Amino acid sequence: MPDDPLRLATWNVNSIRTRLDRVLDWLRRADVDVLAMQETKCADDQFPTLPFFELGYEVAHCGFNQWNGVAIASRVGLDDIEVGFAGQPTWSSNPTATAAAEARALAATCAGVRVWSLYVPNGRAVGDPHYTYKLNWLAALRDTAEGWLRDDPSAQIALVGDWNIAPTDDDVWSVEFYRGCTHVSEPERKAFNAIVDAQFTDVVRPFAPGPGAYTYWDYTSLRFPKGQGMRIDFILASPALAARVVDAQIVRDERKGKAPSDHAPVMVDLRRD
């Protein structure tokens, strides 16, 4: 491994205000250069920017209320910030209200890497309108991301975050338990694989093979100590970026302890250009 890799991580923090101390402590210990966060659960003016700044990080955040929310913290530059991607579908739970784009996608260029912090819609239940929204959201992301590489095949792009999909049976603790549920349905898996087919590689899998390499454990029923998790958080890299990956890991220990997020961080080390 190079002496000084560029370390990129993603973490669904499940409320940044609740988890702030844990996130900051981990950033100190893990020596992370860029952290993409999901489910910050706050509006922009509520995000605790100052503690990150004091630690040496610039922050970009997109949040409208107590739901969703995505952020990027970087100590290696934070340029060309972009909220949402072209074609991102809109959503409203109220059929009489005007649908709007949710706080689910945020990009910034950090040390030459175009980082997208993504919080893919949950889907709720197969057949639910939110499930259709999820599939449309993934299809739009795939089309837009494919266009980025068509325009610039050498682009350094990282699509990172909580995808709310377990793309293979090895990515869930029990196939039978999840049968008929979202996250494992064939349309969702096809939507995920369509993005992989658009030349975005799961660069963590070679370093964290399954089964058992999970990133999420529900708070109920002692799922974490029982090892009953799912792998739904991913770092997908464009070809030029994937060629720079020298190590990766799922930081399972961060799911332990007092008041953890129900997700663990996922990170990769990149050879510096």
Distances (CA, A) of 227 to 109, 213, 221, 232, 266: 36, 10, 11, 15, 17
User: What CATH topology corresponds to 6-270?
Assistant: Deoxyribonuclease I; Chain A (3.60.10)
Other beta carbons less than 10 A from residue 28's beta carbon: 11
* pLDDT at residue 3 greater than cutoff 80: no
What are the residue ranges spanned by the domains of the chain? 6-270
Write out pLDDT tens, residues 88-118. 999 988 877 788 899 999 999 999 999 999 9
User: Which parts are annotated binding residues?
Assistant: 12, 39, 162, 164, 262-263
What is the per-residue pLDDT for 135?
A: 98
Write out pLDDT tens, residues 186-225. 999 999 999 999 999 999 999 999 889 999 999 999 999 9
Q: Is the pTM above the cut of 0.75?
A: yes
What is the per-residue pLDDT for 115?
A: 98
Establish whether 119 is a catalytic residue: yes
Sign of the Cα torsion 162, 167, 169, 170 reads: negative
Alpha-carbon distance of 30 to 37, in angstroms, equals: 15
In the sheet where 157-162 sits, what is the strand order?
79-83, 105-110, 113-119, 157-162, 233-237, 201-202
Q: What is the mean pLDDT of residues 166-174?
A: 97
Alpha-carbon distance of 119 to 141, in angstroms, equals: 12
Task: Give residues with Cβ within 8 angstroms of 67, minimum separation 6.
Answer: 41, 102, 103
Q: What is the mean pLDDT of residues 78-89?
A: 97
Q: What percent of the chain has pLDDT over 90?
A: 93
Catalytic residue among 33, 214, 216, 263: 263
Establish whether 162 is a catalytic residue: yes
Catalytic residue among 33, 57, 61, 119: 119
